[in-house]
A and B are shown apart, each in its own frame.
Chain A
Amino acid sequence: MSRSLSDGLHLGRRDHGLVPVIAAVAAIAALALGGWSAAHSLSREWENGAAQRVTLEIPDVDGNARETAGRLKAVLQSDPGIASIEIMPEERLRELLQPWLGSAGKTLTDLPVVLTLARKSNAPTTDLPLILDTVAPSTIVEENARWGAQLLLLGRSLQACAWLALLLAGFATAGVTTLSVRMTLHARRRTIEILHGFGATDSLVAQRIAWRSATLGLSGGIIGTLLGGATLAIVHRLIQPFLDHQEASLPLWPHNMSGWLSVLTALPSGFFESLFCVPLLVAALSFVVALTTVHLWLRRLA
């Protein structure tokens, strides 16, 4: 029985309470990481996609709107700064307007023509107002870049918040570990003093306690990450229909194990790797904090 505790430090009895606390912090870290990941991908999408898009609306005042749109499309297609330009089909426009126009929308004949164009990101800027003045002077322009910049700022702010939450989770882990190690040192003070008297080096005592803290950190980290990861997988499942229309037909809650597994595997693979790092980082942080705390505490002994 005493073989496994041969140095008398007896570290395994008092600090199991650390695991649930670390698990809670790791779950918060996993959720923050999920928030960061979502904000990051949204920012990138807005930066690369939405911000480059422009919506053009040609009012059908004299019944020639569709012809004007065709001419405008031909001109803009040949412009080096334009990546693509599409005329929205009339059926699609009627679908979009139906919530506002109701059944009257089906019979209206003077609907405007809507074009969507995407600018090239690394190309000379197209002088859109000049082209429009020449080809279609009555066109209304909606530059997505205006609100795209705001969205980008919002996305980056969300990322900063997620980083801050991760940082706070790190501080909480360090604080909890310090407290736990100090309790261990207080409880095992006599033993440590005896070992010190027999010539135990500071590193030996510190590493024994630090490895114990790292093990507890890893256990708590794994539990917390699983909880946080499962929560994120469920949230991801719930928002999936909004992101992908093909997924709209899936049941809200899976009925079998493979369904639940598919909920987990639906998470982005890069995010999985980040989640995998959480318990390892928690363990490493616990180890370093415990090592430092014990070394500092041992300074009081000659």
Chain B
Amino acid sequence: MHLEVLPDEGQVEILGVDVASAKRRQRSLLRQRIGFIPQDLRLLSELDVFDNIALPPRLSGTGAETIDLEIRSILEWLGLSHKKHARPEELSGGERQRVAIARALVMRPALLLADEPTNALAERQGWQLVDALQALSRAGTTVIVATHNEALMRAAPYPAIALENGRLTVVAPAAQGEGETQ
């Protein structure tokens, strides 16, 4: 869904774009509308926290002042303001996870993909993130989370599918918030 591979056959449409037939530039622009929290975080070790978070808006050509304002508020929300100029290797696992979350959210994406986003977070921070994802979902962002955290699944009864050995085993209909996906 993050367009790392293209379909060998059939049709995949993301945010109204047929990814197989789209031109490379169109796919780049589509990626700019997708927020991604990868499991391996993919922080750039040469850049500090601020510059890591600023990557997506800089690539999309957002002005420096806007970037500065956005990042300041998102760092404050995630409790990372004091780590603004720290390098990733100077951060704990939870802090790094929060930087990856900030980087995914800074562009206010139309689609947010989160791969095990609560893995390295303390319980309180995990629930804080779940609240934030729900708020994003209510604001119109499509949020897709991949997780092994069953407590999270139980606490957030959104439409869900379960995969086992790459095969679909359970399809849970939406218990609330019809039309939202988590």
Contacts and interface: CB of A to CB of B under 8 A. Distances in A.
B59 A7 contact: yes
A3 B50 CA distance: 10
A302 B5 contact: yes
Residues of B in contact with A, size category: 20 to 34
Given A202-B24, A302-B5, A195 B47 contact: no
B108 interface: no
A260 B29 CA distance: 58
Contacts of B59: 7, 195, 198-200, 204
A126 interface: no
Contact of A302 (B6, B32, B47, B50): B6
Interface string A193-220: 0111111111010000000000000000
B148 interface: no
A254 to B, nearest CB: 50
A256 interface: no
Interface in B1-41: 2-6, 24-25, 27-34, 36
B58 A6 contact: yes
B44 A8 contact: yes
B25 A201 contact: yes
A191 B52 CA distance: 11
Most buried by B among A191, A194, A198, A200: A198
A2 interface: yes
Contacts of A198: 31-32, 55-56, 59
A200 B42 contact: no
Nearest to B36: A197
Contacts of A204: 59
A10 interface: yes
Contacts of A202: 24-25, 28
Interface string B50-71: 1100111011100000000000
A5 interface: yes
B95 interface: no
Contact of B55 (A3, A7, A10, A201): A7
Interface string A6-39: 1110100000000000000000000000000000
Contacts of A196: 28, 31
Residue of A7, A10, A302 ringed by the most chain B CB atoms within 10 A? A302
B115 interface: no
A224 to B, nearest CB: 32
Nearest to A302: B6
B24 A194 contact: no
Contacts of B3: 302
A93 to B, nearest CB: 80
Nearest to A298: B24
B150 interface: no
Contacts of A199: 28-34, 56, 59-60
A6 B47 contact: yes
B116 interface: no
Interface in A47-78: none
B46 interface: yes
B4 A302 contact: yes
Contacts of B2: 197
A3 B54 CA distance: 11
Contacts of B60: 199
B48 interface: yes
Contact of A197 (B29, B31, B33, B46): B31
Contact of A5 (B34, B42, B46): B46
Interface of A: 2-3, 5-8, 10, 191, 194-202, 204, 302
11 contacts: A7-B55, A8-B47, A10-B46, A195-B55, A198-B55, A199-B28, A199-B34, A201-B25, A201-B28, A302-B6, A302-B27
Counting from the closest, the 3 A-B pairs by CB-CB distance are A199-B32, A199-B31, A8-B44
Given A6-B58, A302-B6, 10 more contacts: A8-B55, A191-B46, A194-B42, A195-B59, A196-B31, A197-B2, A199-B30, A199-B59, A200-B59, A202-B24
